[in-house]
Amino acid sequence: MKNDMNRRFRTRVITNIFYSAVVTVLIEIFLVTNVSLIATYMDNAGIDNFFISILVTFDVVVILMYVLFGILVFTVTFMILQEKSLRNITKISDAMQNISEGDLNVTVEVEGDDEFSSMAANLNKMVEELKELMDKERESERTKNELITNVAHDLRTPLTSIIGYLELLSGDVKLDPELQKKYINIAYVKTKRLEKLIEDLFGFTKMNYGKLTMHVAQVDVVKLLSQLLEEFYPSFVDKNLSYELQSNVPAKVITADGNLLARLFDNLINNAIKYGADGKRIMVKLHADDEIVTVSVINYGYVIPADELPLIFNKFYRVEQSRSTNTGGTGLGLAISKNIVDMHGGTITVTSDLSGTVFTVKLKVNFDVNKENFGKIG
């Protein structure tokens, strides 16, 4: 592209020089021929004039006059031919000056289909990319501040509770063994919540700031879901829940990061158990074709309000804050799930009504890690 622009510019300049030279030569021939004829005629007619005598003699002064006039004609012709190019160069130069001074609301408008229109288009594209980069930088800074604020709040709450119970246990007042056991159990549950929060925070920051390396391999997603559901069996029993896996194929191998997929569906199943206990049943459905695998995790418990559905994948967002606290949510599980799906170029959506809350994940069968998010499923 750059070499093509240079070639086109050189060709344009050389062409203008050639045209200017042709015009100059033609005018010079016209002048020399006609002025000499007129001067000779007037001299033969007996008109005595110093200027005419100089023209007739064709001495050094006359030649110099013709040369200077030729240079003037060449320069004027070349400048006229280059006027559009000079105007475009001025536009681009002024725009670059404004950009260097921090003005990114600059748009260079150059008509035509030449090297200058290409330069203007590239400059406009660069300005847009700079604006996007600055917006991302501001968003990143805002996200970091929000992350710090939310982390401080979420860490302080269980820590305060743990410290309170430990102070009671280590105090001078002798506690009943049953009460001691109860306090220890509460402190343990709060500690596990802290561990989960810290684990989610590490996972989220790694994904959100591009520090996580994907290890793509062949993964049997049917087998993966079966294993995850078996691992959650104690939780199903504890919540008095039944579960079922439905698949239109006995096995389906896709290209993906197995560990990340395990975390994705672990989060979704865990979320279904937490908030679907009232429905007494968890359903996982898989439908696969040659290009796309669709996995739906369905619970029949709490209905998420329609106005909260668009926010549910936001970091630290919780549906019914107090209820989420009781169930031990960190507000990061679904944000992590969305990041994992995005990294695989897939989509994740949620619907919720009286017929159930459905999280639907669509993944490509043949995922190309080198293309990442550039070919997302529509």
Domains of the chain by start residue, with CATH: 2-103 (no CATH), 214-378 (3.30.565.10)
CA distances from 187 to 119, 192, 316 (A): 65, 9, 23
At 243, give phi and psi (nearest 5°): -140, 160
User: Is residue 362's pLDDT more than 80?
Assistant: yes
**302: pLDDT strictly greater than 80:** yes
Average pLDDT estimate for 304-332: 68
Phi-psi domain of 60 (left: phi exceeds 0; alpha: psi -120 through 50; beta: other)? alpha
Q: What percent of the chain has pLDDT over 90?
A: 20
- Cβ atoms of 150 and 331 closer than 8 Å: yes
pLDDT over threshold 90, residue 149: no
**pLDDT score, position 2:** 53
Average pLDDT, the chain: 77
pLDDT tier for residue 375 given thresholds of 50, 70 and 90? very low
What does the pLDDT read at residue 165? Answer: 78
Task: Give the pLDDT score at 51.
Answer: 54
List, for residues 46-68, the tens digit of each pLDDT value. 555 555 555 555 555 566 666 67
Q: Two tokens at 46?
A: 């007996």
Structure tokens at 284: 């996982």
3-state secondary structure of 11: helix
Give pTM, 2 decimals. 0.55
Q: What is the pLDDT of residues 84-140, one digit of tens each?
A: 766 777 777 777 777 777 777 777 776 666 666 777 777 788 888 888 888 877 776
